[in-house]
Structure 1
Amino acid sequence: MTPQPAPRGDQTRQLIIDTAMRLFGEQGYEKTTMRAIATEAGLAPSNAYYYFPSKDHLVQEFYTRVQVAHREAVAPHLAGRGDLGTRLHAAMSAGVTVMDPYHAFAGKFFRVAADPASASNPFSDESEPARALSQEIFRDVVDGATTTIDPEVKEVLPELLWLAQLGVTLFWVYDRSPGRSRTRLLVDRAVPLIDRMVGLSRLRVLRPAVREALSLYRALRA
């Protein structure tokens, strides 16, 4: 059967997103207006605002698109079961690969996203849908792991791994090495450490410290 073309509305929506991402890279987030995006896309401003009431809504769409692509890229590696380290390495490596086409404007964009008051901040209420998609990837990493994990650690581990991925992303933003080789090295070296720390958390002698750390984490995220 011949694939059916996407509905016109979906095509227009995608055109706006693609145009916005290009202009963000060329002009920076602050200098790119919704009117400029509409003009560059060959649309009336009212048409662009119909699909995206503000630039923040475009950013959330971008976040979601990246997370959907991340999910698709890592899905084959998480289809079965395996040890935590192997699954986590696959997830973090896929995340770097999916983000890489956007590296040219990542630094400009990060300055806006780092503002705690910005709707583009990854911890904002507006970012919750994309954040949930990303955390679900790491929940799959944990749930499909054959590694024995302390139950209390396992409960919050997907969120902690998502935070670790944010750290990798921040490093990636400032990584100017060819092909982001330093970020790849970070993933290669950090994942075994995380895997080892998860294993050590099961030791009886470390349980009081682990419980205290988990209590602090819960208090901070409340």
Structure 2
Amino acid sequence: MAKDTRERLVAAALALFREAGYQATTMRRIADEAGLSLGNAYYYFSGKDELVHELYVEVQREHRDRALADLVAGASLADNLRVVLHAGLDVMAPYHGFGTTFVQQALPASSDASPFSERSADARSMAVGLMDHVVATSKVRVPGGLRGRLPTLLWILYLGVTLHWVVDASPDQVRTRALVDRLAPVVAKAVALARLPVARGLVDDVVALVPPTEPPR
């Protein structure tokens, strides 16, 4: 029962964030949308800021499910990376008007909505796990030292694409779509070049900067 009530509140908040935007969405509106009292809503969530974290988790879950269905075993890393990045943009599209507010909520290191926070560990592991599946599914040879870090690097790349999308004022964010189409082959080429002896020192430096991939949860 408690789980159902919590899920109703999350669903109501996400719908209102999409339709009315963050500023116009109040806890009372969320409670009304969910068919609950305001006091009941506050019993489960301290405020709408806490629900922003739930949005982050839900977006990561939907992104993973959509992308996994479209990945092609044996395709190039560029093609599969393009699929995953576009899938993320598809999932986020309804929330573009809310994007700036989400970033403001997620930027502080102490924020639960931060992709790097302890509370976001499951969502982060899910996202890194998706990138690990991209590498495992694709036809690509990755240097051994880089293999464990590459999924995390690709996830960080995705965060950068997300920031570009947030500030992209072009119709339907076509500039971000074009960036993805240009970026995926560049990343694939960089991974291929990392196998060359001349790049060994650079690869070692990158590996030292990035923690190992977290095990998927």
Q: TM-score per shorter chain, which class? A: 0.7 to 0.9
What runs of 5+ residues in structure 2 fail to find an aligned partner?
Answer: 213-217
For the residues of structure 1 that align with 2:68 and 2:6, how far apart are their CA atoms?
A: 26
Residue in 1 aligned with 2:22?
28
Structure 1 residue 37, shift from structure 2 partner: 2.6
Structure 1 residue 133, shift from structure 2 partner: 1.0
What runs of 5+ residues in structure 1 fail to find an aligned partner?
Answer: 1-6
For the residues of structure 2 that align with 1:27 and 1:77, how far apart are their CA atoms?
A: 30
- Length-normalised TM-score, structure 1: 0.84
Residue of 70, 78, 88 corresponding to 2:71: 78
Report if aligned partners of 2:127, 2:155 keep a CA contact under 8 Å in 1. Answer: yes
Report if aligned partners of 2:153, 2:210 keep a CA contact under 8 Å in 1. Answer: no
Greater CA drift, 37-46 or 137-146: 37-46
Residue of 98, 105, 122 corresponding to 2:91: 98
% identical aligned pairs: 40
Residue of 161, 164, 169 corresponding to 1:176: 169
Report if aligned partners of 2:17, 2:95 keep a CA contact under 8 Å in 1. Answer: no
Structure 1 residue 23, shift from structure 2 partner: 4.4
Structure 1 residue 189, shift from structure 2 partner: 0.4
Q: 1:39 to 1:77 in 2, by over 3 A?
A: closer
Residue in 2 aligned with 1:160?
153
Helix, strand or coil at the partner of 1:212: helix
CA RMSD of aligned residues (A): 2.4
Report if aligned partners of 2:52, 2:102 keep a CA contact under 8 Å in 1. Answer: no
Residue in 2 aligned with 1:4?
none
For the residues of structure 2 that align with 1:99 and 1:27, how far apart are their CA atoms?
A: 14
- Length-normalised TM-score, structure 2: 0.86
Structure 1 residue 179, shift from structure 2 partner: 1.3
Count residues in correspondence.
211
For the residues of structure 2 that align with 1:158 and 1:16, how far apart are their CA atoms?
A: 33
Matched, 1:88 2:75: no
Helix, strand or coil at the partner of 2:169: coil
Residue in 2 aligned with 1:37?
30
Report if aligned partners of 1:60, 1:130 keep a CA contact under 8 Å in 2. Answer: no
Report if aligned partners of 1:85, 1:191 keep a CA contact under 8 Å in 2. Answer: yes
For the residues of structure 1 that align with 2:130 and 2:33, how far apart are their CA atoms?
A: 35
Residue of 43, 49, 58 corresponding to 1:65: 58
Structure 1 residue 63, shift from structure 2 partner: 1.6
Greater CA drift, 70-79 or 103-112: 70-79
Helix, strand or coil at the partner of 2:110: coil
Q: 1:52 to 1:180 in 2, by over 3 A?
A: same
- Which is bigger in relative contact order (C-alpha 8 A, separation at least 6)? 2
Report if aligned partners of 1:24, 1:109 keep a CA contact under 8 Å in 2. Answer: no
